[in-house]
Amino acid sequence: MQFIYNGFSRKGGIYQIKNLITGVVYVGSSSRFKKRWNQHARSLCEGKHHTKYFQNSYQKHTSETGTDDFLEFSILEVMDNSTKEERLIKEEWWIQKLVDDGIQLYNANKKPTLEGSKPTNNSQKGKRFSIATEYKQGNVSWTKENGHDEETRKLIGEKSKKMWENPESAEKLLKSRRSAKFRKSRSKNMKESWEKTREQRLVAMNTPECIEAKMAWKKTNKEAEKRRIENCCSIEALKKRLTTLVGKEKAEKILDPDWLRVNVEKFGFKGTAALIDVDRQTIKRWHEKLCV
């Protein structure tokens, strides 16, 4: 690895790491050049660099040449006594300049000023961020107080819909939501939310207007409510719910009457549940529906 500090190794500002073989450049900013380069060098050697394109390129050319001297660290601009925000603005300016000059970059993030608004300490813990919030100037974080504007909500909805339409993404989401950790966290959040707004909700639910609206809805929608309950309790709805809870592969075995009957006779409810790692009550419930 080659270094061109020009006496500014302890200064801060904008730097570049250039691949002398391909000409591809990584642009970054730091409060101290030498310290930041050491961090890059360590993460590259350990195979843990945050930019995968840069990491893959490093491994490829190191393997081919047997050395890492093809990387050259140099300073683009010294910014003594500058703030992080000032350096990020200048870093973005340099990235845009190099792109306009036709130079290929390793940088995955071409807008580092947005990165500065992401949570970096525990004071931001618990706030949610989304790529879709780039719609808002400064990458404004989502909170219950500020919410999202209508256009951003629409964009988030479209992205979410695409994720669920992708079988691989949908399976990952379902796996996460079926986990004990997710259920425990969701239950805790719902309890805390209810406790905080308990009095307010009870008052709202017991106002004359609310009670009157409920009674009117029941009278006019009795048939619809009956159909809704029937649909929720139908065998098809229960099968879909089972697939959501335990996954497609396990659900197919449970819903196969022959497989279920043979294994329950051989191992019992508890043993059959252990075979596919589900709870005993699920096996017992479906055995009663399909085999009795």
Tokens 């159909």 found at: 227
128 and 93 share one domain: no
Q: What is the mean pLDDT of residues 5-21?
A: 87
CA distance 286 to 272: 12
Parallel, antiparallel, or unpaired: how do β-strands 25-30 and 71-78 relate? Answer: unpaired
- The pLDDT of residue 3: 76
Q: What is the pLDDT of residues 196-234, one digit of tens each?
A: 888 887 888 888 888 888 888 777 777 777 777 777 778
Q: What is the pLDDT of residues 50-76, one digit of tens each?
A: 888 899 888 888 888 888 888 988 889
- The pLDDT of residue 66: 85
The secondary structure element, H or E, covering residue 78 is strand 71-78
Residue type, 154: K
- The pLDDT of residue 242: 87
Secondary structure, 3-state, 124-178: HCCCECCHHHHHCCCCCCECCCCCCCHHHHHHHHHHHHHHHHCHHHHHHHHHHHH
Is residue 171 one of the residues assigned to a domain? Answer: no
**Residue 91 clears pLDDT 70, i.e. is over it:** yes
What is the value of pTM for the model shown?
A: 0.41
**Residue 120 clears pLDDT 60, i.e. is over it:** no
7 and 110 share one domain: yes
91 and 190 share one domain: no
Per residue in 47-69, is it b (16+ CB within 10 Å) or e — as a string?
Answer: eebebeebbebbeebbeeeeeee
Question: Is pLDDT larger for residue 111 or for residue 252?
Answer: 252
161 and 191 share one domain: no
- The pLDDT of residue 146: 53
Domain count, the chain: 4
**Residue 257 clears pLDDT 80, i.e. is over it:** yes
Tell me the HSE value of 246 on the side-chain side, using a 13 A CA sphere. Answer: 20
- Given a contact cutoff of 8 angstroms between Cβ atoms, the answer to whether 141 and 128 are in contact is yes
84 and 131 share one domain: no
**Which distant-in-sequence residues (6+ apart) come within 8 Å of 204 by Cβ?**
210
Is residue 243 one of the residues assigned to a domain? Answer: yes
94 and 15 share one domain: yes
Query: What would the two tokens of residue 5 be?
Result: 């500090």
Query: What would the two tokens of residue 125 be?
Result: 């813990």
**Residue 27 clears pLDDT 90, i.e. is over it:** yes
129 and 219 share one domain: no
The secondary structure element, H or E, covering residue 36 is helix 33-45
Is residue 282 one of the residues assigned to a domain? Answer: yes
Domain of residue 271, residue span: 236-290
14 and 102 share one domain: yes
Is residue 187 one of the residues assigned to a domain? Answer: yes
Is residue 229 one of the residues assigned to a domain? Answer: yes
41 and 101 share one domain: yes
132 and 43 share one domain: no
Q: What is the pLDDT of residues 125-181, one digit of tens each?
A: 444 444 444 434 444 444 545 556 677 778 878 888 888 888 888 888 888 878 888
CB atoms within 10 A of CB 33: 25
104 and 39 share one domain: yes
198 and 267 share one domain: no
